[in-house]
Structure 1
């Protein structure tokens, strides 16, 4: 009698493991390693903090660099960096990466767009005006004038996005405004509350100055708040500076980790929007050493992968290994017959080396090489230099641009 397979519902699984049952499966033999690795929410506290990020509600007054230095002091970590920079008077979402999660800083895969709510102060009241292009005699209200001016600001703009006193060179930069609309207008106070969705490094104050020029009355920013930074929103997992300080104090004095684990999120939280490729445990350490991913090392993959797109390489326990560029689409992975075909090339390695066991050096060529090195070390060095020019054991190839000098030869 054939055993009936029961499909597990993974819709409530955390982070990168969510909807794991919907991923496509590559056929082939696979042996898991349960004693290596750990699911991100269940990491030991030291590793959890080192691989964590904080979605911080930045207060008005201190600069982003001051806030990051305070968080670094509270958490007692070696490195901390913010994704994006908010001006001292700006409040809202500020993403702070700790220790190992700072490796995601230069990838820019999660903070390419921002959303702001701006309270604009108009320098003079707006009077109803007649529209020369309209046949009706109805005058245009001040609210309609502001909405029409905001509509003309949508699209690409040239801005000098850095202040006069800055370490960054002041020059014209092209920035795109995806969406800008009027939320509310007060004729009594000459205030306009607007919502702006734009790409990173866009000057909101410049947009308000351009709005005042279009309206003919002048305008400036009265209040500014960032409500979304990439995939992080103020409606979910937002913590204040008091939360960070209280969580660290509770963990140090009462040994209660629950509050700190609620304030600090695993770095995988920032990568949930990327297509996923699940690796075999034997291929994880090779990726951490800079190897390109061969098709034989793929266990599961998502259905929305396109060639050249960014993907996240993950383990079967939901740990992020690296951010990579896909060399094959979903259809190519499903129909490819060559196991040595390149599936992805690493853009940035996230996981530390040797967390998982070595997956190379057990083939016949590697065993023969070790025997030669043992019998004659000088001859073994010459053979080792020739072997380093190849592709190793055929499971994982080398990527010269991502391999460090201390990388072992395959």
Structure 2
């Protein structure tokens, strides 16, 4: 069985995130595989997987900010706010032709910063215990509540026109929980011609980048696995433990660090002298307690 660690996969279009998890389970010979944030089948790019005990790290990765490259088509709306849905409204050619770059940039500016966003009705958000998209497919009318998200960067990279549409290539940096499909819908609504997403690629999740990911086809899991200690040290401050400190934390005991300044409540990666991840700890003053432990018998051999 493959050891514990994080795997960076460049998801192909047409695959669900579950498809990638299922393939990885077979490749790695373990059922304990999870992912840090779903990508729609249409989307490509960075999907972060946790194997074995490193699935415990995924909770801390999910909440990090994300970066996307996307193409928004202005001029028509769809049932799913992306290219996989049916067209429900198409703007007159004259309205599309009248769209100015200035109006597009102004609408994007209004969608930048801290905003209230209504997720797409075909999202995976649960409504009374059932996924919203399942309710929509069953013929129900679903309108989700707006939720606060932060769009820290929303940049136009290119703009292309046809007689029926304006395609806007954008780069978006946003908080966890942001729906890029909803941004496309809202941008189209703001400029009065409708809009939907035609391409989406996730290029970064927190400190992890798609350039370091590999396609799932032909992937050698063991050689690409980022050991838990390395992954945790990328995410958090790294604290080198003494042998006794490692033993104490493993047994659930707090440790005292005399020269430590007051803690900030942020997780810290506690690394044993052997180099393996003992766990994530939290400092309160000069004392540290374990937030989550990691077993030492799943150390990656890569």
TM-score (norm 2): 0.78
Work out which structure has the larger RCO, using CA pairs closer than 8 Å and 6 or more positions apart in sequence.
2
SS in 2 for 1:242: coil
Q: Deviations over 1:176-230 (max 9, x none)?
A: 1111111111134611001111111211111111101111111100111111112
1:56 and 2:14 aligned: no
SS in 2 for 1:105: helix
Distance 2:10 2:29 in 1: 20
1:320 and 2:281 aligned: no
Q: Deviations over 1:112-163 (max 9, x none)?
A: 11111110111152426xxxxxxxxxxxxx2232222111111222234364
Partner residue in 2 for 1:291: 253
Distance 2:13 2:170 in 1: 19
Query: 1:146 touches 1:182 (CA, 8 Å); kept in 2?
Result: no
CA 1:148/1:228 → structure 2, altered by over 3 Å: closer, same or farther?
A: same
1:77 and 2:15 aligned: no
The 5 Å alignment of 1:17-56 reads: 46=1, 49-56=2-9
Aligned partner of 1:173 among 139, 147, 150: 147
Aligned partner of 2:210 among 224, 228, 234: 234
SS in 2 for 1:217: coil
Partner residue in 2 for 1:270: 231
Partner residue in 1 for 2:66: 114
Q: How far does residue 306 in structure 1 lie from its aligned partner after superposition?
A: 4.6
CA 1:187/1:162 → structure 2, altered by over 3 Å: closer, same or farther?
A: closer
Distance 1:71 1:323 in 2: 26
Distance 2:97 2:236 in 1: 46
Where is the strand percentage greater, Structure 1 or Structure 2?
2
Q: How far does residue 110 in structure 1 lie from its aligned partner after superposition?
A: 6.7
CA 1:324/1:94 → structure 2, altered by over 3 Å: closer, same or farther?
A: same
**RMSD over aligned Cα, in angstroms?**
2.6
Q: How far does residue 265 in structure 1 lie from its aligned partner after superposition?
A: 1.8
Partner residue in 2 for 1:68: 21
1:222 and 2:174 aligned: no
Q: How far does residue 91 in structure 1 lie from its aligned partner after superposition?
A: 0.7
SS in 2 for 1:65: helix
Distance 1:120 1:165 in 2: 18
Partner residue in 2 for 1:127: 98
Q: Structure 1, unaligned stretches of length 5 or more? A: 1-45, 129-141, 249-259, 329-341, 356-410
Distance 1:325 1:110 in 2: 19
Distance 2:62 2:269 in 1: 12
Partner residue in 2 for 1:403: none
CA 1:111/1:167 → structure 2, altered by over 3 Å: closer, same or farther?
A: closer
The 5 Å alignment of 1:162-201 reads: 163-164=121-122, 166=124, 168-169=126-127, 170-188=144-162, 190-201=166-177
Distance 1:196 1:167 in 2: 21
CA 1:93/1:311 → structure 2, altered by over 3 Å: closer, same or farther?
A: same
1:148 and 2:100 aligned: no
Aligned partner of 1:97 among 50, 55, 66: 50
Aligned partner of 1:87 among 28, 35, 40: 40
Query: 1:53 touches 1:98 (CA, 8 Å); kept in 2?
Result: yes
Larger radius of gyration: 1
Distance 1:67 1:99 in 2: 16
CA 1:156/1:231 → structure 2, altered by over 3 Å: closer, same or farther?
A: same
Query: 1:50 touches 1:77 (CA, 8 Å); kept in 2?
Result: no
CA 1:243/1:293 → structure 2, altered by over 3 Å: closer, same or farther?
A: farther
Work out the number of aligned pairs and report it. 261
Partner residue in 1 for 2:291: 347
SS in 2 for 1:61: coil
Q: How far does residue 165 in structure 1 lie from its aligned partner after superposition?
A: 7.0
